[in-house]
Structure formats: structure tokens, C-alpha cells
């Protein structure tokens, strides 16, 4: 569990402390996720809701791995099954999806830590493996849907705007563009709120333990 706590600390720094990811934090994050997945396979780690959330968090780095490997293939070998515009947008959207999934899962872990600290008995029926798996699935589905919308919007922007304006797809173009812009704004605001909430939660936990 100490190693998993260190892994969570690394992820909090990577996604909720640093303003943007860099090569060092990304590499350490990938190594940490691989190590966490290995630890979670051990019989010594009990199957609890926190372990389920951490496992889903570690698996989210698969999106980063796919993006990095694909970009390396495109740059070094010139291998691109899809169009360059589609590929470039997809790789960037995969990284964004990884960030959003990770931030939401980290916030779920923090909220669970808050419940364990202040409401250990009352919250026991909420902190189940079933609910953790359901929460992880919902987060993945919502973020993948967000990624699909961003991908469609990027492709529409890369297309001929003048041609779309005079076609029957003009309405869909404007709706998609407005929805993507609104969702990007909401994601940015939510990211700030999650940082504030996480700091508050661990501030409360730290001082509650300090006074015990």
C-alpha cells in the first residue's frame, strides 16, 4: 500500500499540480502505472474499491502509450494508416482523454479517502467494489464520448468550411462546433474546480490526522 500511495502522489503531481505534462513526468507516470498494475495483481493487495479506482487510473495510461507509439511511427517511419489531419487530432485527443480520466479518478480516490476519514461506518455501503467499477465505467464512457466529439469537431474544422456552409451538413457543423467549444470550456472550469476540491480534501484529512 505504501507503493500505491507513492504512485497516487506521483499522479496527483502529474495531473493536478503541474500546469502541463512534460517528458519527464509522462515517463515517470507510465513507469508508475506499469508498476501499480503489477502490484495490484499481487494476492497481498485486497480487492477493495480504492484498488479498483487505482487500477482504472493506471490503465488510463494506455491512451498515452498508444499516442506516443503512434507519433513515433509517423515521425520515424512515415507510417500513417489514416489521414495526417485525423491522426494528429486523434493523438492529441487521446492525451486529453487520459488527462480527464485521470483527474476524475484521482478525485474519486480523494473523495473516498475523505469518507474513510470522517464517515468510515456510514459510508461503508457506498464504498463497494461494485460502485467503484460502475464509477470507473461511467467516467471512461463520458470521456471517450467527449474525445469522439472533439475528434469530429477537429475534422470538420480541417474540412472546407465554405463547402460545408453551402451544404446540408452546415447545421451539423455549427452544432458540433458549438458543442465542442462549450465542452472545452466546461472541461477547463471542471479541471480548476477539481484542483481546489482535492486540495481542500487533503487539507482536511491532514489536519484531522494531526489533531488525533
pLDDT of residue 43: 72
Query: DSSP secondary structure string, 159-209?
Result: S-HHHHHTSTTHHHHHHHHHHHHHHHHHHHHHHHHHHHHHHHHHHHHHHHH
Identify the weakest region by mean pLDDT among 7-16, 79-88, 97-106, 156-165.
156-165
Question: Exposed, middle or buried, 116 (CB in 10 Å: 0-12/13-18/19+)?
Answer: middle
pLDDT of residue 211: 56
Residue 179: C-alpha distances to residues 147, 149, 155 (Å): 12, 8, 14
Residue 140: C-alpha distances to residues 20, 24, 68 (Å): 21, 26, 20
9-45: pLDDT as tens digits: 999 999 988 877 788 889 999 999 999 999 998 877 7
Count of all residues that appear for the chain in the document: 212
- CB neighbour list of residue 111: distance below 8 Å, 6 or more residues apart: 201
Average pLDDT over residues 197-210: 86
Q: Angle at which helices 170-210 and 129-158 pack, to 10 degrees?
A: 140
Identify the weakest region by mean pLDDT among 83-87, 144-148, 191-195.
83-87
* Greater pLDDT, 6 or 85: 6
The domains of the chain are located at: 64-210
Amino acid at each position: 500500500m505504501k507503493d500505491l500511495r507513492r504512485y497516487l502522489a506521483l499522479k496527483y503531481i502529474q495531473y493536478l499540480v503541474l500546469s502541463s505534462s512534460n517528458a519527464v513526468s509522462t515517463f515517470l507516470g507510465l513507469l508508475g502505472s506499469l508498476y501499480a498494475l503489477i502490484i495490484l495483481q499481487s494476492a497481498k493487495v485486497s480487492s477493495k474499491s480504492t484498488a479498483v479506482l487505482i487500477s482504472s487510473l493506471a490503465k488510463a495510461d494506455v491512451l498515452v502509450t498508444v499516442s506516443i507509439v503512434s507519433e513515433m511511427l509517423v515521425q520515424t517511419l512515415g507510417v500513417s494508416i489514416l489521414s495526417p489531419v485525423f491522426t494528429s487530432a486523434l493523438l492529441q485527443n487521446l492525451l486529453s482523454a487520459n488527462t480527464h480520466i485521470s483527474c476524475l479518478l484521482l478525485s474519486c480516490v480523494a473523495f473516498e479517502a475523505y469518507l474513510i476519514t470522517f464517515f468510515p461506518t456510514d459510508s461503508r455501503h457506498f464504498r463497494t467494489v461494485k460502485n467503484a467499477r460502475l464509477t470507473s465505467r461511467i467516467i471512461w464512457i463520458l470521456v471517450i464520448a467527449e474525445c469522439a466529439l472533439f475528434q469530429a469537431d477537429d475534422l470538420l474544422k480541417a474540412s472546407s468550411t465554405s463547402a460545408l456552409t453551402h451544404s446540408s451538413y452546415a447545421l451539423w457543423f455549427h452544432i458540433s462546433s458549438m458543442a465542442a467549444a462549450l465542452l472545452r470550456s466546461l472541461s477547463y472550469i471542471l479541471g480548476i474546480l477539481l484542483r481546489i476540491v482535492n486540495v481542500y480534501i487533503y487539507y482536511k484529512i491532514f489536519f484531522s490526522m494531526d489533531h488525533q
